[in-house]
Amino acid sequence: MEVGKMKKILIAGIAGSIVLAGCGVKTEDPCKDSKAAFSKYLIDKCYGDYMKQIEINKENIANLDKRVSALESDVDSLRREHEEIRAEIEKLKITGKEQVRVYFDSNKFTLRDDAKATLDELIDAVRDKDIKKVIVVGYADPRGTRGYNFELSMKRAQNVAAYLIKNGIPVEKVRIASYGEELANLIGERHPEQRAVDVIVLY
């Protein structure tokens, strides 16, 4: 056999052995690590944001629970006050009642001329009565914060009470209450109707 042919056969055999050996080796996926890292990133990113939102929702729910508890406490307080007033009225043996309602401009607590005229008529009507109690109740429309509306309706009630006292109503007979926006919907649906003060004279 010629030397050249022997070399060719030998080279072919070596090459075949290399190919066969290569087929038996399991190579690692070069993209495997990057895929795993990307998947972990997605999980951390999405799950992390989800968990953050859950914590935010928990905090919001807790705040709402506090607000509900505060409102329930206010309602209970108003209910007790109503019961106290009712009990006082029953003790007084009331024979008559006069009631008027005066209105205020938005965000104001000064008496308008029409309010003064209404109060003057009330004062004249009860001047000779044996007044047992004068209840002055202030309201506000729901615009603004609850705290601000409570103070605003209190100032309205105080100004009405001061006008009554200045014009002859005994100061010791006057009782003031402020309901802010809490009961405003009971006296009217429109904002101008809710900016009011009720005066109830019991005799």
Is 27 inside any structural domain?
no
86, part of any domain: no
| Residue 185: DSSP 8-state | G
The pLDDT, as a whole number, for residue 93 is 65
In a domain, 171, yes or no: yes
How much is the pLDDT for 61?
A: 85
Query: What's the pLDDT score for residue 104?
Result: 97
Which CATH number characterizes residue 107's domain? Answer: 3.30.1330.60
> Could you give the 3-state DSSP secondary structure of residue 203?
coil
Query: Among 184, 181, 97, which residue's Cα sits nearest to residue 135?
Result: 97
- For the chain, what is the domain count? 1
- Mean pLDDT of the region 100-109: 96
Question: 156 or 15, which is more confident?
Answer: 156
Does the residue 21 lie in any domain?
A: no
Q: What number is the average pLDDT over the span 44-69?
A: 76
Report pLDDT for 15: 47
pLDDT at 166: 97
From residue 18, how far is each of 12, 28, 32, 75 by CA, in Å? 10, 19, 26, 90
pTM above 0.85, yes or no: no
CB-based contact 41:48 (threshold 8 Å): no
pLDDT for the residue 48: 66
Over residues 22-42, the pLDDT tens digits come to 444 444 444 445 556 656 666
Task: Kindly state whether residue 62 falls inside one of the protein's structural domains.
Answer: no
Whether residue 184 lies inside any domain: the answer is yes
Mean pLDDT of 85-114: 85
Query: What integer is the mean pLDDT of 77-93?
Result: 72
Domain membership flag for residue 142? yes
The answer to whether 187 touches 147, Cβ cutoff 8 Å, is no
Is 152 among the domain residues? yes
Helix (H, G, I), strand (E, B) or coil at 144: coil
- The mean of the pLDDT values for the chain is 79
Domain that holds residue 169: 93-202
